[in-house]
Amino acid sequence: MQKEELEREVAGLHAASFGWALSCCRRDRTEAEEVLQDVYVKILEGKARFDGRSSLKTWLFAVIRRTAAARGRRRMLHDLLLAKWARQQEPPVIDPPEHSDVAAILLDALQKLAMRQRQVLELVFYHDLTIEQASAALNMSIGSARVHYQRGKKQLLARLDGRIDR
């Protein structure tokens, strides 16, 4: 894929990428923006190359996940060195005015799931990927992705039962 074409395709996925970056950064918008900028730098400099083995969206989401994880590890190490560990352990506060009741309840339930379960469910329900594509984006086997999907959905439905009425 030519560079210009790749940039155009990536630009078309910007909104979805931001949504996934939010998920990888525990809904921290500033961090999600930083992660996306890092990802775009990697693409521009050729450090992240699309080889066509999966769909562009799957590849891009995998790059975003890896970049967010690397930034998270660096920040954790930085915080450790500066002895800010205890203060940084508080979970990020989700700003209530940004979300409706339904979205806030869903987010609250999602945060209580295991990370892998949450990621698979978000890729399938939020980003409309198949379980196979989700497994590729998360670099796990399709069997593991199916198990995370089933267990996560069961727990999520149980947590949401009676809280979201339509």
Q: For residue 58, give both structure tokens.
A: 């799957």
Binding to other proteins by residue 1, rule CB under 8 A?
no
Amino acid, single-letter form, for residue 66: R
Binding to other proteins by residue 153, rule CB under 8 A?
yes
Within 8 A by CB and 6+ apart from 57, the residues are 13, 16, 127, 129, 133
Q: For residue 53, give both structure tokens.
A: 């083995």
Site string for other proteins, 105-134 (x = CB under 8 A): xxx--------------x--xx--------
Binding to other proteins by residue 19, rule CB under 8 A?
yes
Rounded CA-CA distance 106/125 in Å is 12
Nearest distance, CB of residue 151 and other proteins, angstroms:
15
Name which position in 1, 69, 76, 103 contacts other proteins (CB under 8 A).
Answer: 103
Phi-psi region of 6 (alpha: psi -120 to 50; beta: other; left: phi over 0): alpha
Q: For residue 15, give both structure tokens.
A: 């909104």
Binding positions for other proteins, rule: CB under 8 A: 7, 11, 14-16, 18-19, 22, 33, 37, 40-41, 44-45, 98-100, 102-103, 105-107, 122, 125-126, 153, 156-157, 160-162, 164, 166
